[in-house]
């Protein structure tokens, strides 16, 4: 009968790999928490006893902390989904409530605040018999748009939304003009911004600027309906500028 084969010794490299894996598996869970938590301790560097207390706390609470963060993230997704569904169905007051909850989870998401601006303005339009509440909602819309722009100064949807609110709802077209300029700096062929800028220029008696806006629209070769509208507006602005068709 053959003698049992003696196992070959592991090479040094293989042994090192296995040792590292073993040590990694034995590493205390939550080891990455120690330094951040030490930084939160008052009075400078914590004592060894305080560090041991922190380690015990990490062992006790890490799983619960991870579970709560995951639950909050899932809840944030729920509120975002609900807000979008409300917006899609024209339920802007309810959308605002859901967006408030989502923003409590994600307070630095500019898209949430842009949707807030839209929802508050649209909700305000339905309150023609309650001027005070309408004014409150318009103010909330403006604040939401400004928050979105603060978080992302290049956010075209928020820049344009605030310009529409200021020019068409709040009677402050002069404040809308630089916002539209910022939109056009990023998107020179943004037809919505050009139409609104032309409208503001015409209403303010700046007929030459209005003509320029409509010329820029026509230069983009827009769809037939928009081209016809731009041509009619351009003609009206030129009549006001020169006194003749």
Q: How far apart are CA 41 and CA 88, in angstroms?
A: 48
Tokens of 84: 């979008």
Q: The whole model's pTM is what?
A: 0.75
DSSP 33: G
**What is the pLDDT tens value at each position of the chain, 245 positions in all?**
444 443 343 333 333 333 333 333 333 445 587 677 667 667 667 777 777 776 777 777 777 777 777 777 777 888 899 999 999 999 999 999 999 999 999 999 999 999 999 999 999 998 877 899 999 999 999 999 999 999 999 999 999 999 999 999 999 999 999 999 999 999 999 999 999 999 999 999 999 999 999 999 999 999 999 999 999 999 999 999 887 55
Q: How far apart are CA 17 and CA 19, in angstroms?
A: 5
Nearest Cα to Cα of residue 167 among 211, 197, 208: 197
Cα 13 from chain centre: 50
């Amino acid at each position: 009968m053959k003698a049992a084969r003696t196992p070959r010794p592991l090479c040094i490299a293989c042994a090192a790999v296995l040792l590292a894996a073993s040590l990694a598996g034995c590493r205390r869970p939550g080891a990455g928490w120690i330094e951040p938590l030490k930084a939160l301790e008052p009075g400078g560097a914590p004592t060894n006893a305080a560090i041991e207390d922190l380690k015990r706390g990490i062992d006790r609470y890490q799983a619960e902390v991870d579970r709560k963060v995951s639950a909050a993230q899932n809840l944030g997704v729920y509120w975002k989904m609900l807000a979008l569904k409300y917006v899609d169905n024209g339920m802007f007051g309810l959308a605002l409530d859901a967006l408030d909850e989502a923003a409590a989870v994600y307070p630095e998401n500019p898209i949430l605040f842009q949707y807030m601006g839209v929802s508050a303005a649209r909700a305000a339009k339905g309150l023609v018999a309650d001027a005070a509440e309408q004014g409150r909602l318009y103010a909330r819309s403006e604040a939401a748009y400004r928050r979105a722009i603060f978080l992302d100064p290049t956010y075209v949807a928020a820049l344009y939304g605030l310009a529409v609110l200021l020019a068409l709802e709040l009677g402050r077209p002069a404040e809308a003009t630089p916002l539209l300029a910022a939109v056009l700096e990023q998107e020179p062929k943004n037809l919505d911004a050009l139409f609104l800028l032309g409208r503001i220029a015409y209403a303010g008696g700046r007929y030459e600027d209005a003509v320029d806006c409509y010329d820029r629209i026509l230069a983009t070769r827009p769809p037939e309906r928009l081209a016809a509208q731009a041509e009619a507006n351009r003609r009206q602005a030129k009549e006001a500028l020169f006194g003749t068709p």
